[in-house]
Chains A and B, each alone.
Chain A
Amino acid sequence: MMTSQKILKKAKFSDFIKLLSDDYEVYVPVKKGNHRYLKKYAGNVDEIVIGEVRPVEPLKAFFSRAREVVAHGFKNDVPRPDNKPYAIIGVKACDLKGFKIQDFVFANSDEQDPFYARNRAENLIVSADCTCAIDTCFCLALGIQPFPEENFDINLSQIEDGFVVQAGSDKGRALVEKNPSLFENASDGQVRARDQQRSRVRGLVETNIKEHEVPHQDRFKDIIKNSESALWEEESRTCVECGACNTICPTCHCFLLYDQKVGESTQRFRIWDSCMIKDFARVAGGGNPRPKLWMRLRNRFEKKFDYFPRVSGVYACTGCGRCISACPAEIDIRKVLKKLVDNK
């Protein structure tokens, strides 16, 4: 493929972002202190940090919003927010793996979710290789490389004088082909520089995994089925049921529908929900299959490491490490996985 060996020179980067902002609401990665987060692009390209690692917020927020209107009264349509589609820049491989789960739930089943399907069709993903690893990164344990291999439109691999460009979809290929002034052919040296950087970052993640003794997913089979309740009681001891692990997770997809009066009319919203909250599975009659916190923690792991591999062939964890950073109770998914594997 011709377009797989292009380069976007540093000097052309701002033209590229501006071009995208004609058709998209562009979100770009920036860094403040030790935090990487996404910011709505408003003309300043200097603050954009393409490489690095995943931002604080998960990619799923651009595909099923944390809160969105899904119905206006009885009106038979699919409500549409008035923003342009999103172009999300600098998306990392761990977030892209989230699509394997989100697509399975919302797009690939017999009943598609029209909101998700629309966003999936219209949004643009400009992904990027990780150029470093932070302490909580463990993607390799879940079989993911620290650079995108699928589920992107265009991937940027940052090297010294710009970005090696790879198109990953028809949409991405069209963008590269229609804008020849932005892209030049990449030299062998530039491609080599990309590959060297990729193996360097792999090394960093490998070191992380060794240091934290994170087991590889090849050893995850039946870890939940054979787990003892004592382990879950111990692990859930400090949990405060805030649901941060759910909201921050690229694969968590559960939501709550709720209705509200807005003036004279009514609206149906959906918001992200958390299976760690006591009422999650409770029925109106009072029955609750998971009244205890440790049952809900076990259920969370069961969904990720037993349910999803059984129904979709994929573990619903991407090794992004966000839940480790977000948890006020310091529940560490790597340690839980290690215990589960060791106890099997």
Chain B
Amino acid sequence: MNNPYRPIETEVLEVIPETPTIKTLRLKPKEEISFKAGQFIELSIPGVGEGPFTPSSRSSVKEELHVSIMKVGKVTERVHQLKEGDIVGLRGPFGNGYPLDEFKGKDVLVVGGGCGFAPLRSLMYSFFEMSGELKSLYFRGGCRTSKEMVFKDETAEWAKRKDLNLRLTVDKGDETWKGHVGLVTTILDDVKIHYPEGIAIVCGPPIMMKFATLKLLEMGFQDKNIYLSMEKNMSCGIGKCGHCRLDVYYACKHGPVFRYDKIKHLKEIWD
């Protein structure tokens, strides 16, 4: 019988520092883990604990997967001490990814905030692989400061792509930042699409998701076209341990990506 709680032995191939608080792990599981953008995995430090993370790498690459992890608690503290060659555990993938097929032929706006860039990078890779199948693709990203901006080199490359319209912003500017200063909601107005038909995908800290969603609705996006990635306390990953329940949903099973019209009436979604 399959044991859903058993982690798969996984080697750390490389640890890439991204910002003072975010590191990317390149991981090679000893058994294949195949995920779709937006799905999450449970990563554990043997004997220490486990936490939910969404891969930030290309879902089409089966040999390894990357997770970009912010240092916020007990497990992530230990994650940040990992070195090349260390062994960790992986379970998953869990939940639903983004319904990519439903986005074909549509204008898509991706809005990211802070560590929300990580899952969105995986999604952007999927979109790049579907290049030509989307009507248009916009990325709007915001971080608190330039120092905290993740994947800077990569987003600089993305900026050159013809199939993507990209803008980044920081909440607080400094001498190292040449771009726009202000919340991510201040760089959405130049997105030139017919909003009621457009798809919006938001991932970031809860407060950012809340205000971005309100802004998108005000712009004319329909609630059924807004996709949110809910950060809940996912643990077992299979809808049993009870921690990530959101009304009749379990974020680990029915999410973590939710359409806004399915959850907008619920309390607790932004907390």
Residues on A with beta carbons closer than 8 Å to the beta carbon of B247: 307
Stretch at the interface among B32-40, B220-228, B229-237: B229-237
Residues 72-111 (chain B) with a chain A CB within 8 angstroms: 72-76, 89
Query: Is B50 a contact of A257 with CB atoms below 8 Å?
Result: yes
Once the chains bind, are A74 and B89 in contact (CB under 8 Å)? Answer: yes
- What is the bound-complex CA distance between A132 and B271, given in angstroms? 47
Binary interface encoding of chain A residues 41-68 relative to chain B, with 1 for a CB under 8 A from any of its CBs, else 0: 0000000000000000000000000000
A77 to B2, CA, bound (A): 7
Contacts of B206 in A (CB 8 A): 287
Contact, CB under 8 Å: A266 / B239: no
* CB <8 Å contact, B242 and A311: no
Task: Decide yes or no: A254 and B242 within 8 Å by CB, A281-B232, A285-B72, A287-B231 being known contacts.
Answer: yes
In the complex where A257-B236, A290-B268 touch, is A74 in contact with B76 (Cβ < 8 A)? no
Taking CB atoms and an 8 Å cut-off, the chain A residues in 97-126 that contact chain B are 105-106, 109, 111-114, 117-118
Most chain A CB inside 10 Å of its own CB: which residue of B3, B44, B51, B271? B3
B1 within 8 A of A: yes
Q: How far is A135 from B271 in the complex, measured between Cα atoms in Å?
A: 40
Please tell me if the beta carbons of A255 and B48 are within 8 angstroms of each other in the complex: no
Which residues of A lie under 8 Å from residue B243 when comparing CB positions? 254, 256, 273, 280-281
Q: From B6-14, B120-128, B154-162, B177-185, give the one contacting chain A.
A: B6-14
Q: Are A109 and B239 in contact (CB under 8 A)?
A: yes
Partner of A74, one of B8, B70, B231: B8
What is the 8 Å Cβ interface bit string for chain B, positions 142-173, against chain A (1 contact, 0 not)?
00000000000000000000000000000000
**A78 adjacent to chain B (CB < 8 Å):** yes
Identity of the chain B residue whose Cβ is nearest the Cβ of A75 in the assembled complex: B6
Q: Bound complex: CA of A105 vs CA of B244, how far in Å?
A: 14
Q: Which residues of B contact A254 (CB under 8 A)?
A: 241-243
Q: Which residues of chain B are within 8 angstroms of A74 by Cβ–Cβ distance?
A: 6-9, 30, 89
Residue A2 at the chain B interface, CB threshold 8 Å: no
Residues of chain B within 8 A (CB-CB) of A288 are 271
Which B-chain residue is minimally distant from A105 (CB atoms)? Answer: B240
Chain A contact patch, size range: 35 or more
> Contact mask A250-270 → B, CB, 8 Å, 1/0?
000111111111000010101
- A282 on the interface (CB 8 Å rule)? yes
Q: Is B211 interfacial (CB 8 A cutoff)?
A: no
- Taking CB atoms, residues of chain A closer than 8 Å to B271 are 287-291
**Measured CA separation A297–B48 after assembly (Å):** 30
A146 to B74, CA, bound (A): 48
Q: How far is the CB of A224 from chain B (nearest CB, A)?
A: 11
Residues of B within 8 Å of A275, CB to CB, are 242
- Is the CB–CB distance between B6 and A71 below 8 Å? yes
Min C-beta distance of A262 to chain B, whole Å = 8
Asked if A33 CB lies within 8 Å of chain B CBs, one says no
B49: chain A residues within 8 A (beta carbon) = 258-259
By the criterion CB–CB under 8 Å, are B241 and A283 in contact? no
Asked whether, in the complex, the Cβ of B50 is within 8 Å of the Cβ of A307, the reply is no
Query: Which residues of chain B come closer than 8 Å to A281, judged between CB atoms?
Result: 232-233, 243-245
| B47 lies within 8 A of A266 (CB) | yes
- The yes or no answer to A303 lying at the interface (CB within 8 A) is yes
- Contact partner of A78 (CB less than 8 A), chosen from B3, B233, B235, B236, is B3
In the complex, whether B20 has a CB less than 8 A from a CB of chain A is no
Q: Name A76's closest neighbour in chain B (CB-CB).
A: B6
The answer to whether B7 touches A286 (Cβ under 8 A) is no
B7 adjacent to A71 (CB under 8 Å) = yes
Query: What residue in chain B is nearest A280 (Cβ atoms)?
Result: B243
Please encode chain B, from 29 to 62, with 1 for each CB lying within 8 Å of some chain A CB and 0 for all others.
Answer: 0100000000000001111111100000000000
How far in angstroms is the closest Cβ of chain B from A286?
Answer: 7
Once A259-B50, A266-B46, A284-B75 are accepted as A-B contacts, the answer to whether A71 and B3 lie under 8 Å apart by CB is yes
Does chain B have a CB within 8 A of A310?
yes
A143 sits at the interface (CB 8 A): no
Q: Are A311 and B248 in contact (CB under 8 A)?
A: yes
Does B242 contact A268, Cβ atoms closer than 8 Å? no
22 contacts between A and B (CB under 8 A): A74-B8, A74-B30, A78-B1, A111-B239, A111-B240, A114-B1, A114-B3, A254-B243, A255-B240, A255-B241, A255-B242, A256-B241, A259-B45, A259-B47, A261-B47, A275-B242, A280-B233, A283-B232, A284-B73, A284-B74, A284-B75, A289-B232
Give 9 closest A-B pairs by Cβ, nearest first. A254-B242, A261-B47, A284-B73, A289-B268, A266-B47, A74-B9, A289-B271, A70-B5, A71-B6
**B residues at A contact (CB < 8 Å):** 1-9, 30, 44-51, 70, 72-76, 89, 205-206, 231-233, 235-236, 238-245, 247-248, 268, 271
Given pairs A74-B30, A284-B75, A285-B73, 16 additional interface contacts (CB within 8 A):
A71-B3, A71-B7, A74-B6, A74-B9, A111-B239, A113-B4, A114-B1, A114-B3, A254-B243, A257-B241, A259-B48, A259-B49, A268-B7, A280-B233, A281-B243, A303-B245
